[in-house]
Structure 1
Amino acid sequence: MTSAHTDQHPVVLPANQPEQFYRGGASIAALRGAGDDRDFGPEDWVASTTTRFGQPEAGLSRLPDGRLLRDAVAAAPESWLGADHVGDFGDSTALLVKLLDAGQRLPVHCHPSDGFARQHLGSRFGKTEAWIVVGTTGPNPVVYLGFREDVAPETVAHWVATQDSSAMLGSLNEIPVKPGDTVHVPAGTPHAIGAGVFIVELQQPTDFSITLEWQGFLADAEGAFLGMDHETALRTVNRAGFGDATLASLIKHTAGQDDPRVPLLAEDAAEFFLADRLHPRGGLELDPSFGVLIVLDGAGTLRAGSGSATELRRGHTVVVPHSAGTAVLEGELTAVHCRPPAPRGTR
C-alpha cells in the first residue's frame, strides 16, 4: 500500500526515456547534466502513468523506491490528485509531460480527439497537446502546424497512400520558433517538429498517433494507424486551413517575460492542461495540485505544506502530489510548472 506520509512530499524523478523511432536526446542529457545522449533517447516521459501504445509498461515512471507511479496513484488517488480531480477523472492524472528533443525532423502526424478515441480506441482521452520551446539548435528551428489551405479528403488519402512527403510537409504552415514560444496543438491538427527543437510537451495521457508520413520513419504502415483501417484513421485529420488568426490563437511568445508566474499556453488549452513558467525569487506559493515541475535553470527549494524541503537544481524533474498542500518555491531558478486541467467545479 502507498504511504500517505511518503506521498505528502514532492519527489525528484530519474530520467525515463522509452525507446523511440527517431533520433535525439543530447539536449535532454545536457539539461540533466548526464552523459547519455543516445541517438534514440529523444523523449523523457516525466511523472508518466501512460504506456507506449500497445505495451504493458514501457513509458511508465518509477518512483525512487521502485514503485510505478501509476500504481502509487491508483492506491491513494485522493492523496496524489485531490478529491475534486478524482471526482472528474478518477485515478487518472489526466496529464502526460515529456521532454522532447528532436534530433531529426519528426514525421507529419496527428492525434485523435476525445470523441474519436471513445468511439474507436476505447479511451476517455484523445491526445490534444502543447509545446513549450525551451531550446533550439541549428540554423532554422521550425515547427509545422495545420494545413495552410483547406485540403480535400481524397487529396489527404492520396498523399498518404503514395507517401508523398514533400506534398504533406509543403502543405503545412512552417513556423520559426525560439525559446519562450509556445504552441497549442488541438486534436486532429496535422503537425511535425523540426530538427533542433527542444520542448516541454504537455499531452492528454495517451500514446495515440496517426502517422501520415510513415515511410522513412516507421518499419511499415502497420504501426501508423493504431490498428485501424486507413479510411477510419484519416477521419482524425482536421483538413481545414489555418490562417493567421487561427495561428495567432494557438501560438504565444513569452521570451523576456519574467513575472513570478508567466502563463504559457493559449486560452483554449486550459480545458486540457495548464502550464506556467516560474521565477520565484523571494518565494512563490503553489496551490495544492498534482503537478510536474521541470527546472530549466538555477537552483532553489520547494517547501511543502508539511515543512519538508526538496532541493532543486537545473535538470531536476519533480512530481508534486496534491497532499503536499500549498508549497513554496524559493531560489534563483526558472521552472516550468505543468498541471492537469482544473476540475470542472473549480473553473
Structure 2
Amino acid sequence: MPLEPIILPANQPPQFYRGGAAIADLRGGDAREYGPEDWVASTTSMFASDTDGLSRLPDGRWLRDAVCDDPRGWLGDAHLRRFGDSTALLVKLLDAGQRLPVHFHPDDRFARAHFDSHFGKTEAWIVVGTSSEDPTVYTGFRETQSPDTVRDWVRDQDAPSMLEALNAVPVAPGDTVVIPAGLPHAIGAGVFVVELQQPTDFSLTMEWRDFLDSPEKGHLGIGFDTALQVLDTSGWDAERLSTLVRHTGEPDTAAELLAAPADGFFRADRLRPRPTTTLAPSFAVLVVVDGGGALASERAAVPVSRGDTVVVPYGAGELELSGDVTVIRCRPPA
C-alpha cells in the first residue's frame, strides 16, 4: 500500500513542569496543567520508559514499529545508509508555563560512552508564540566559569547564580536558537516553541531542586561529577552567541530557519506557498501554525489546517503544498 502523509493526534506524555495552554490553543484541545510538550511523530521514548513519548498512528500502530517494518519506504536509501532505521529526529511542541530549570545535554561521544546511544542531544527552538511580558530564553554562560564554581552551584543548588551566569536572550515569534550539546540553557515562562532535537531524552539537570524528585534524576544515574564533564563552561559573548540565534522575519513568511550549527543534526524551514510549493521526497514532520490548505501527492490530497501535525514518509514522493497556510517543516540532516 503506498505511503502518504498522515495527520497525527496530540501526544503529551506527563512532565515535571507546567504548561500546555498554547498547545491547546493551537491544536484545539483541552489544556492540561502539566501537558507542556507534544512529542510529534516520535519514535523516541522518555528516559527509563519503554513507550511513554512514542507516537501512535491513527491505525493504532506505534510509528516506531511502522518505520522498522518498512524503513526504505519511510526513510529512503540515502537516510538508511547514514542512520539505519532511526528517523534521526524528534520534534516537539513545547509551551513553557513556567521557567524550565538550567540544564544541558550530552554530545554523541558522551552518549555512546554513558548511555549506549548513537545520538546525543543537540536541539533547536523555533519561537512560534509568546505570552509573557518579557519572553526570554537563557543560553550559554556570559563568562567562562571554572568547573569548581559550577560544581559548587550544583552541590548547593544555587539556582540564582546558575541563572544569573547565563545569557538572557529576549525572543519573539520568528526567532530561532540552536542549542549545541553541552551548552547550559533554559526556556523562560511564556515561550512557545517548535523544538527539533536528536532522537533522545537525555537531559542533565543542574537545577534539580524544586523541579525533580531527586538529584539522581538530574544526573540520570551517572553522578554529577561525570555529567559535568560534558558541560560547556566557556564564555559566550554577544558575537559568539549570534552564531546560534537567527531573526527570520515575520512568522508568516517563507524562510530557512536555523543557524549553521544545526547543519549535520536537522533542518527546518517555514513554508508559505504562493500559491503552491513543491516538496522533494523526504521523511519530514510538518507543523501547521496558521491558515489552511492541502498537501497533495500523485495519488491523493490531504487537507491541513492550523494545529495539524503531519508525518511525511519518504515514500509519499514529491508533494505539493497549496493554500493560504503557514507550515514549519522539520527534517533530518541532508
Report if TM-score (shorter chain) is over 0.5. Answer: yes
1:257 shift after superposition:
6.8
- Aligned partner of 1:21 in structure 2 is 16
Alignment of 1:315 onto 2:307: yes
Letter in 2 for 1:188: G
- Partners of 1:281 and 1:122 lie apart in 2 by 46
The aligned residue for residue 162 of structure 1 is 156
Per the alignment, residue 345 of structure 1 pairs with none
Structure 2 residues not aligned, in runs of 5+: none
Pair 1:275-2:268 in alignment = yes
Q: How far 1:312 sits from its partner (Å)?
A: 0.3
Say yes or no: does 1:287 pair with 2:266: no
Query: Which residue of 1 is the match for residue 131 of structure 2?
Result: 137
Say which SS state the counterpart of residue 263 (structure 2) adopts: helix
Q: How does 1:219-298 map onto structure 2 within 5 Å? A: 219-256=213-250, 261-298=254-291
The answer as to whether partners of 1:281 and 1:333 remain within 8 angstroms in 2 is no
Give the AA of the match of 1:125.
F
The 5-angstrom pairing of residues 79-98 of structure 1 reads 79-98=73-92
The CA distance in 2 between the partners of 1:241 and 1:208, in whole Å, is 23
Q: Deviations over 1:157-206 (max 9, x none)?
A: 00000000000000000000000000000000000000000000000000
Number of aligned residues: 334
Q: Distance in 2 between matches of 1:165 and 1:257?
A: 33
1:119 aligns with 2:113: yes
Deviation at 1:258, TM superposition (A): 5.6
Matched residue, 1:303: 296
Q: SS in structure 1 opposite 2:38? A: strand
The unaligned stretches of length 5 or more in structure 1 are: 343-347
- Whole-Å separation in 2 of the counterparts to 1:316 and 1:177: 24
Cα displacement string for residues 110-161 of structure 1 (whole angstroms, at most 9, x for unaligned residues): 0000011011111000000000000001111100000000000000100000
CA distance in 2, matches of 1:111, 1:230: 13
Q: CA deviation at 1:103?
A: 0.2
Report percent identity of matched pairs.
59
Return the TM-score normalized by structure 2: 0.99
1:41 counterpart residue number: 35
1:67 corresponds, among 61, 68, 79, to 61
Residue matched to 1:194:
188
Q: Distance in 1 between matches of 2:240 and 2:124?
A: 15
Query: Counterpart of 2:320?
Result: 328
- The Cα offsets for residues 222-264 of structure 1, whole Å up to 9 and x where unpaired, read as 21111102210111210000011111100000122765x4100
Which of 187, 199, 220 pairs up with 1:205?
199
The separation in 1 between residues aligned to 2:12 and 2:54, in whole angstroms, is 10
Equivalent residue in structure 2 for 1:77, among 71, 76, 79: 71
How far did residue 219 of structure 1 move?
Answer: 1.1
Question: What is the alpha-carbon distance in structure 1 between the residues aligned to residue 93 and residue 249 of structure 2?
Answer: 19
TM-score by length of 1: 0.95
Deviation for aligned residue 1:281:
2.6
Q: d(CA) in 2 for partners of 1:267 and 1:70?
A: 29
RMSD of aligned residue pairs (Cα, Å): 0.9
Amino acid corresponding to residue 19 of structure 2 in structure 1 = G
Match of 1:283, as an amino acid? T
